[in-house]
Amino acid sequence: MTGRIDMATAGKDAGGAPEPTTSQSDNAAREIVTFCRVCHACCGIVATVEGDRIVKVRGDSEHALSRGYTCPKGRAVPFFHHRPDRLDDPLMRADGVLEVASWPDCLDDVAARLSAIRSAHGTDAIGMYQGSGAAFDDLGSRIGARLMRRLGSASFYTSLTVDTPNKHLVPELMAGIHTLNPIIDWQRCSLTILVGVNPLVSHGQTSAFPDPVSRLRSLAAQGELWVIDPRRTESAGLATRHMAARPGTDWMVFAWLVREILADGADRAYLDAHTVGVADLAEAVGCFDLETTAARTGVDTSMLEDLLASVRRHGRFAIQTGTGVSMAASANVCEWLVWALQVITQSFDRPGGSWFNPGYFSRLHERTPPTSDGAGDPGPKSRPELAARWGQFPVSAMIDEIESGNLHALLVVGGNPIIAVPETGRFVKALERLEVLVVSDVVHTSTTQLASHVFPATDFAERPNMPIGIDQFLPAVVAQYGRAIVTPKHRRKPTWWPFAQIAQRMGVEALPHGFDADSATDDALLANLATRGPIDFDELRAERTAVVTDEAVFGWVERSVLPDGRWDLAPRPLVEQLGLREDPAPFALIPRRQQRHFNSQLASSMGDDRPTDVPLLLISPDDARSRGFVDGAQVVVHSASGSVECRLSIDRGILPGTVSLPHGFDDNNVSYLTSSSVNVDPLTGMVLQSGLDVTIVPAGT
């Protein structure tokens, strides 16, 4: 299926709808107020448009959450929208070459091939992968998923199992619902602890930090802000204290804190009334005394005691974790202990600690959501030991599913799995075996290069949207109608449209009842999704900027969600994983985020006049000196699964025994170092990516 793209024709209009014309009056500069959809912070932006060109983006000073802030990614929207490698036309592969096709021909061909695969191999032979870009396209992600459900396929994969499954497993096991997401009580929290997360750069992981500099400074000014990270990150520079625990040991800090609070400081009446498993939790963490914790984490006993004193002094507090935790072997255990500590101190669902955003549209606090025991569902045939969870298979099973002949077609939405799925070389060969590889994206990627069909999608500047799927991540109960900035050009279509068309051709219905694939519009479909919101869709659309209905909502989880009103402090699967924890690698690779790209987005270039993020390998001066490395040297990083060459940078802020390489790049692809079968979490299928044992040698040796 591999072959070159004919770039001479790939960007040309081949008889489709004409591009919008621009009158002289249309060339006058105008401003469009909307919100950024590069990451989940959803910052308010104001775009300046001249004719059909976006010439500038600035922050919206009236936005309730971002307050005029926007990051380099948001300000790069004009360049990204007008990138020379934008996908403009449908592409089909013929004789090894991707060539421009009409939409009817492309859709007819995809539908016919998928129907044949379905008849020959069953519905599970058709799979879908949704990347992080799909999370900011509610219609595209939902209608794509609906197509899979209507076809009856269980082969659904998302980037959730690439970096955040612990964020869903732990609340499911402790509270019976996987969609709980703790948010800092920004107004009242006097102690905040950030673990393996750098919101100054990333804007948070599942909990969003719009305007992060101001927010971190406010948290520090309100009391104390601790950062636990092997590297002195940009966020640590604004903290009141930085604890550099060895990679993969942060969970021990929280095991010790839980032990100490249970021994002296927990409200027994509260625990008796609102929890189960207190004795089992105490037993599980009983061996983590101060000396053991200090020795294994590499943190001085005095600093550990200072943190414990802070926890006791403030009483309630908020803890946020990031990819440094969720990509580690101890991801589930650390998240569990972080939650347990907040439960036993009454820091959850209470002012001064963390609250749970019920969602502007989901309105979980106004209804009783369904609960789950966390057992999971049958997994993929080639990896039956890995459970399916939350309606999807773990991405770590995708290669085996293709190689075993279970997966014959893959639809890719808003993602570039070649730089996200482990064992890159093996994965590329697996993709080449597929009968059908459909990629819906905005620009050419390493995955479109292998595709049988490419759908040119509108980017967020060309379509409206609302934060329906991610509103529970935001720091208030908030909604906003995100206006399109410009009209789509060439034959770009919103992501939902081709999937609705394919469904129609295959005799299933992917759109909600009453909608037709030929006549449905973005706004009509968004209005259908927004029926639970407290404000009518037309009223919300008429608002200039974001609408906040609540700064925080407390008490609803304990009242309406918890089984019998009780948190499970010691879920058996997590207690068992705690008993299996081993000491971390002696020389460990950790991930990090960078300012100018989000996962794989914006990684390749931001224009000639804009600096780009470079995937440097950070190493401490001591480690560089002991190995004879100089700043800027080319080195090769080896793991048990593969190797990658990169440029080295000496960083005084990183802990000796630790190196850091960012994810999301075609070159220096970290996925060459990871494995889909070794060190895979048995509960979630999460691939080990933080705390990975590596060696480093000079390039060319």
Separation CA 39–CA 598 (nearest Å): 7
Residues 6+ positions from 663 with CB-CB distance below 8 Å: 419, 420, 591, 599, 670, 671, 689
Q: What is the pLDDT of residue 367?
A: 87
- Output 584 or 220, whichever has higher pLDDT: 220
Instruction: Return the ∠ at Cα 310 (arms to 305 and 311), rounded to 5°.
Output: 100
What pLDDT was estimated at residue 12?
34
**Alpha-carbon gap, residue 457 to 460, rounded angstroms:** 9
The string of DSSP letters for 494-557 reads -THHHHHHHHHHTT---SPTT--TTT--HHHHHHHHTTTSSS-HHHHHHSSS-EEEES---SHH
State mean pLDDT over 72-95. Answer: 94
Q: What is the pLDDT of residue 16?
A: 33
State pLDDT tens for residues 272-320: 999 999 999 999 999 999 999 999 999 999 999 999 999 999 999 999 9
Dist CA 176 CA 458 (whole Å): 37
State mean pLDDT over 64-87.
93
When pLDDT is cut at 50, 70 and 90, the band that residue 667 belongs to is confident
Q: Taking 70 as the threshold, does the pLDDT of residue 15 lie above it? A: no
Contacts of 452 (CB under 8 A, 6+ apart): 1, 92, 93, 113, 434, 435, 436, 437, 438
- Which domains can be identified in the chain, with CATH numbers? 84-155+393-457+492-518 (3.40.50.740), 180-361+560-580 (3.40.228.10), 588-698 (2.40.40.20)
For residue 624, the SS3 value is: helix
Residues 176-203: b if buried by 16+ CB within 10 A, e if exposed: bbbbbbbbbbbeebbbbbbbbbbbbbbb
Report pLDDT digits (tens) over 427-468: 999 999 999 999 999 999 999 999 999 999 999 999 999 999
Q: How far apart are CA 675 and CA 656, in angstroms?
A: 25
pTM exceeding 0.85? yes
pLDDT given at position 612 = 66
Percent of the chain with pLDDT over 90: 86
Q: Write down the pLDDT at residue 532.
A: 83
Please report which confidence band the pLDDT of residue 597 belongs to, taking 50, 70 and 90 as the band edges. Answer: low
Alpha helices in 319-423 (DSSP H): 323-326, 331-344, 398-403
Question: Using 50, 70 and 90 to split pLDDT, how confident is the model at 358?
Answer: very high
Tell me, what's the pLDDT at 585? 79
Instruction: For residue 324, give the H/E element and its range.
Output: helix 323-326
Q: What is the pLDDT of residue 387?
A: 97
One DSSP character per residue, 275-299 reads EE-HHHHHHHTTT--HHHHHHHH--
Which token pair is 132?
A: 């992080």
Question: Is the pLDDT at 606 greater than 80, yes or no?
Answer: no
What's the DSSP call for residue 488?
Answer: -
Reading the block at residue 544, the tokens are 């200039």
Categorize the per-residue pLDDT at 598 as very low, low, confident or very high, splitting at 50, 70 and 90: low
Whole-number pLDDT of residue 104: 98
Residue 134 above 50 pLDDT? yes
Average pLDDT estimate for 215-221: 98
pLDDT band at 26 (very low <50, low <70, confident <90, very high): low
Structure token digits, residue 571: 């879920």
Residue 44's φ and ψ, nearest 5 degrees, are: -70, 135
Q: Would you state the pLDDT for residue 6?
A: 37
Q: What is the dihedral of CA 156, 162, 167, 172, to 10 degrees?
A: 30
SS (H, E, C) 90-114: CEEEECCEEEECCHHHHHHHHHHHH
pLDDT band for 122, please (50, 70, 90 cuts).
very high
Closest CA to 457 of 31, 37, 34: 37
Cα–Cα nearest to 184, from 554, 557, 558, 545: 554
Residue found under tokens 């009236």: 62
At 246, is the secondary structure helix, strand, or coil? coil
The tokens 């044992």 sit on which residue?
A: 693
Cβ neighbours around 286 below 10 Å, total: 12
**697 beta partners:** 636
- Angle at CA of residue 660, ends 663 and 163, nearest 5°: 40
Q: What is the rounded distance in angstroms from the CA atom of residue 503 to the CA atom of residue 107? A: 10
Q: Is the pLDDT of residue 20 over 50?
A: no
Q: Mean pLDDT score of the chain, rounded to an integer?
A: 92
Which whole number is the average pLDDT over 374-394? 96
21-30, 437-446, 518-527, 591-600: least confident range:
21-30
Mean pLDDT value across residues 222-249 = 97
**Taking 70 as the threshold, does the pLDDT of residue 322 lie above it?**
yes
